[in-house]
Structure 1
Amino acid sequence: MKHLWSKFSPLFRRFMISYLIILMIPQIAGYASYRASIEAARTSSIENSLKSLNLGKEIIERNLMQVEDFTRQLAINQDLYRLIADPKPQDANNVYGLSRMQRSLSMYSSTNEYLSHFFIYIPNYNVIITPTTVYYRPEHYFAANPLEGVTFDEWKDNILKKPHLNEIIPLQNYKKEIRSNVLVDAPAITFLQSLPLNSFNKPQATIGVMIDEDKMASLTHHIVEQYGGWTLVTDSNENIIFSSGLNKDEANKLKVMTAGKEDEAKPMGDGRLLISIHSNQNGWNYMAGIPERALMVKADQIKQVTFTFTLATLGFGLLIGLLLAYRNSAPIHRLLSVFREQDIVLPGKAGNEYDFLASNITSLITNNHLLKNALNEQIPMLRDGFIKRLLTGEFYTIRELEAISSQTGISLHTSRGFVGILKVDGYGSPDSEEIIQELSVARLIVRETMTTWHADVLITDWGTDQIAFVQPLSEEPSNTPLHTAVSELSKRMNAVYRDYRVSTTIGIGSSYEDWNDVGRSFNEARQALEYAIHMGAEHLVRFEDTIKETELYYYPIESEQRLLNTLKAGEMEESDRVLDQLFSRNFTERELSYDMTQQFVVELKGTFLKLEPKIMLDEALVDEFKNRIAAIQVTDSVGILRDKFHQLAKDVCRDVQRKKSNMHAEIVNETIAYIQKRYADATLTVYRIAEQMGKPEKYISQLFKEYTGENLSDYVEVVRINKAAELLRESQQTIDEIALTTGYNSAHSFRRAFKRVRGVLPSSFRQMEDQIK
């Protein structure tokens, strides 16, 4: 058991011990309840026995009182009075009177079972009358009902001649005639009363009632029958009145135990409990000896039920404890495994898992806070860098744009707006520190004014005396929001000049409908600003106002660079949008001359020729590509020119995408080969694989998922488990050895991984394979 317990992890053992302690609390409470139930059952049995014994005592005393009442009734009986009143009767036999008296006595015997055997001795006639007959000589009665160990003379002197007042002779055997000349021993007590009731010397009559022991003992016999005990009743002189369940010797030994003044129960030391009651009416002691095991019958039933329930609860509780201990320790164990598998070494304690995790997680949280604070300090720089990249058109996809904007906290809730660039006037070359400081203050005033005007405006410094800004507009299709915004901007710059004497010149680009078109609007704003400075125009100039006065073709270097970048990236939609924009600017918004059209087409063809050495997959395609570019003629219509350049761009993007696909497939194949080779290395993680491939970890993970449909970490696990399954089938290595061979730090983590992948434990898998063989 100790060896089995040591196989579980310390963390699991701690959880299990905790649940065992919790499980023991209700068990202790249950034991206390069990002991209370046992004591209650014992007390209840004793109380029932006392009640039964007390009930028997009350019935016996009530019957004895009825016997006394019987003697009082005989004292006033006229027939009996006439027999005993005449000391010298004329008729010595008086057969009629005696027979009449005998008949009257027969009625009394049916009223009380204690009166079934009694006699009346009348000295005047020297006769004894019973309910059944008249004995004309006492000798005849004694011969029929002799007392054991007593002679007739002793019986006559002590019973018939002496006066008696409610006197009871203790238990003695007498011969009872059950049929003619058949006598049996009948233990009985004898109740004696002399008549008249106040006679103290020579009584005129003596009444004797023999009460059988069986009749008295029957009232307490159920205690003997129910518990297998005994009952004993003694008088105040420790003479035995009657007993049940005891032989004569046992009764003589036990009669010396007297009852207290109160009902009580006390152990006798031999496994029996003595229950005793003292009668205040006649001084008798009623005692019952009951085996304690008999009192515990109900308690034994409670004990059996409690024991069964306790075992079931304990077993079920242990099962639940095992499940909960595994459930609660498994996540922590996995977390520890992650730390170990990642070779994370932090200044934490290694002796205790909780201290280790607490210390390491605290360190990670602290480092995370430090990193977060460092990143927060860099957010203004990141925002500024994001805005500059947005203005220069370095984002080629909306997904990339949204990802970086979310990191900088910049909202992109609307994709419509315009770009402007503002120049602080009145300063020449910033060749002194004083001028630079004044420009900084002026830029700060302008930035504050624009931020107050619109909270979502994106602002960045563009040199020492210029500010570039991106102003969002509402999604209304008309130009009204643009005109309103430009008018409001002009008013605010006039206010800046009025309040701070800061003069500005602003160039405004045309509005954009897509975030990828911000770079174009920015270039237009720069052209508008340059036009305003060159022409000495008003402080705010729109790009639309400048293009009316020129017939030069529109193809700024920024647009060329953006077209080149989108083609190199294989972004077909973005390249089409740039081409559409160029054709719209040159042939819809302008009326180019033939020479300007020719120069624009040549510039555009030159842009595509710059791609040739970088994107072609096959040297044989280079000449074909050049021939297609050369085939584009200026004499073609605008529509044909647009279609040819669009088709050329589409083919270029497809070639780039195919090249990327082949390159990605090669990277994935190299990754798979590397995993197949290094799966046994326990330090093989996604980070290690990415490091080997020379690519970022996120890039490798996404690329592998895209091409295989499977997570990279899951694939590593599947490779290891497949190799482990092969070893389980074909080798005799132990599970611990196979775990180490396939790159797992512990057999426990190996078993969990095997169960997760194959659905069974390694041992069960090996058994199934052996059965198949």
Structure 2
Amino acid sequence: MKKFSSVFRSFLISYIVILIIPSIAGFMSYRTSISVTQKVSIENGVTQLQKSKEILERRMAEVEGFTRQLAINPDLNVLMNEKSSGDQANVYGIWKMLRSVLTFGQTNDFLQQFYIYLGNYNVILTPGSAYFRPEHFYDNFRYEDATLSEWKQAVLGKTHRSEIMPLRPFVNKGTATSVVTYLQSFPLDSFSGSSPAVAVVIIDEKTIANLMTGITDRYGGWSLISDAEGRTIASQGTDMPDMAKLAEDKHFDKDKTSQFYDDDLVITIRSDTNGWVYQAGIPRQVLLENANQIKFMTWTVTGIALAVGLLVGLVLAYRNSAPINRLVSVVKEQFGKEESETASRNDYDFLHGNIAEMIRNSNRLESELLRQVPLVRDAFLKRLISGELQSREEIFAAAAQANTGIYGHSGYVCIVQIQGYTGMDSVEILNELNAARLILKQTLLDLAGFTLATDWGSDRVVIVFASREAETGTEFGRTEIAALLDQLSRKAFDDYKITFTVALGDQFAAETEVNVSYEQAKQAIEHALHSNRKGIVWYDETRMESATYYYPLDMELRLIGTIRAGEAEEARRIVQSVVSLNTEQRELSVEMWHQLVGELKGTLLKLLDQKMFIESGVFESLKDRIISIQAADRRAIQSEIEEIANAMCDVVVSRKNDSHTRTVEQIKAYVGDHYSDSELTLYRIAEQVERPEKYISQLFKDVTGSNLSDYLETVRMDCAVKLLLENRYTVDEISSRVGYNSSHSFRRAFKRVTGISPSSYRQSAEG
């Protein structure tokens, strides 16, 4: 370890520095994330309280609007201005008035309980009935801290102008609760000690407190609403501090929106409308729960990372320093350096000097290799044309090695046959041919600006015309190639008296098909020489007799696979390709044609001998059609096979559709049985029908036209409507029975689907 110590220390120190820098950056990010998380949590709490305040003020404004509507109610004005004559009362007017105020409570739960006192008749009107003796009303609805006479004097006997009585204990038909009271005398401009009529709205504390559940349900803690004098309007939650002590605490700033007090974050918002104060206390540990999780995970991960990083640094320092030391030893040994000669030199300096020398040698070798590049490229092109390179990966690797390529994925292979030297093989003739090949390649380079050509024998040059759009913005088509070769022919003859015949294969669509185009060009050039044709000969212009038909195994398997998948269009294309290859590009004998038709019929019969086709109602008819195909009528064979393939694809598609319908029905049945389960998810439904989640989601929408989540919600709402009409359960109980975790979520969903709240729906149905 002694001889590794300097290099080892260098590596280890660098690793430690690299480890410390991101650790510092991580710590800064951690502090920032803690601060941001805390800020976001506080902002969320303030926003939630602000929303509760806005909703409450809107509801109270609706209550005030209700009293304004009463003030202009003609029936109430008539009753107020009538004079009572003993025991006689305007029963019809009172009944008419009762009907006109009956529906107010259906749209605002703050108006569920209210009454109107008519002083001239000494009668109290409620949405449900009329009390001709106030004491009878007070027997059922009274303040626990007020007697009947105090109630008459404070509520019925005074003039009230949008007055709000703070929270007081109240008895509602024997049930103890606490209420906030809103009072308004009529007419609105009453200033005397008493008024003809008084409207009193009794708002249960729970109704107001429900508006604050968004905070307490989410964070816990407590919430409080008080009026401008500090009197309680509504409160909710646990562990509420002594508010009087909190108000007297000098460290508590009443004008501050959010601040920590003991272990709670106290959020305070004051209403500009009525001066009410909205406060919420959120436990510190709940508020900073996310921040604490980040803190725990950060310290845990940082500790583990530091420990593992140090261990890895030690291992890497040793592992990386050992090869350098061995390299130094090898270099010393190879260059014959003695230990005494290098003792005073740093190992890195020693390596630098000797590696520089090796680089110089490498550069000289590279220069020599560059001289060999044309030979390497020529060898690559020959291998590509001859088909030695089988796969795209092999072609790309060989092209990279030769620092070349074919400049595109599609094109044509061309063979240029120099004329006039057939049967001559003297040294002078070979030299002339060599010169002619060089002239043709150089002329092509001058005309086209590039060359992808190689010598093939003594009198042939093979040229690859490929798309060069990515390189030059041009693309070779048949017209461009013909024009270029014609120009090459004229220039070669005019300048050098060289004549040649050209043959081109069909277009190749990928690098792996270059050999196929070359083989076609070979056949075309042989055909041209045999028939003594001049100029340019294309492969598709030659028709050659073939002793065998073309229907390889891979094409048969592709046809079988497409029909099994129900892809009728692709199956039709394959059939057309088979017929085209054996009629347009081959001259088959009658026997070969009959064998080809027999092979196609055999393919279809193999497909037909499967369960899905045997069980279908068209098995026998398809079998008879396949057997009855006659090879003599070549024109009708293609259309008949296409029709049979299409019919088989229809069977496959029909079976798929039936399977899809059964799956959807299975999903609907499962949802119908388990919609009341709040844990019912897409994953559980997919598990039940044994299909992937994405598959059943898309399948359900394709078959039914609606999303699965919308269908589940519809089922739940239909059941909720039935339970509401039965009137046996509360809204909270119904929300649980139809699969909702909270009544708030149920109410929102019900209103989104039906347009009204559950309570309003039930009341309208009863009415």
Query: Normalised by the size of structure 1, how large is the TM-score?
Result: 0.41
Q: Rg larger in 1 or in 2?
A: 1
Query: Normalised by the size of structure 2, how large is the TM-score?
Result: 0.41
